[in-house]
Amino acid sequence: MPTIDYQQDGTQHEYEATTYTLMVYEQEFKSDLIKDVFGLIDLRKGASMIDEDGNIILADYTNDNWTNELKAFWAMLKTSEAIARRENRRAESVPSFVTWCLTTKSINMHEVSFATITELNRGLFRAGTTEAEEAAAE
């Protein structure tokens, strides 16, 4: 299970994306996580522009659903809590989203965004291996 120190205070927090995460998100926000986070992705649009010296001159933050990514991250924290409890491991208690937002200090949204998208892709969109691929790996 991946961990992240999203508040840069030395505390590592477990987070994980599973189908349970989809349910947690839908129950809390009355919406669909995949639609809210990924939405419509236009691959022709660049996220940034770089000048001839390699300096970033434009960063387009409109391609990311920042608030929804934060909600998805919270749902993954809740998923990790539920998994830990199911496995009889000590679990970090994750409060409601509103309380979590009120008690969370400054965070690095770039790091949280990257971790969220990476984990959602790993947990929900990973491709299964075929029998031929398994045989080739042996």
Convert 74-84 to b/e letters by CB count within 10 Å (16 or more is b).
Answer: bbbbbbbbbbb
pTM beyond 0.85, yes or no: no
**DSSP bridge partners of 56:** 50
Select from 134, 17, 36, 122 the least CA-distant residue to 80: 17
Task: Report pLDDT digits (tens) over 9-61.
Answer: 999 999 999 999 999 999 999 999 999 998 765 555 555 566 677 665 555 55
**DSSP bridge partners of 50:** 56
**In the chain, where are the structural domains located?**
1-38+72-126
User: In this prediction, what percent of the chain has a pLDDT beyond 70?
Assistant: 75
**How large is the average pLDDT for residues 118-135?**
73
Q: Above 80 in pLDDT, residue 88?
A: yes
DSSP summary character for residue 129: P
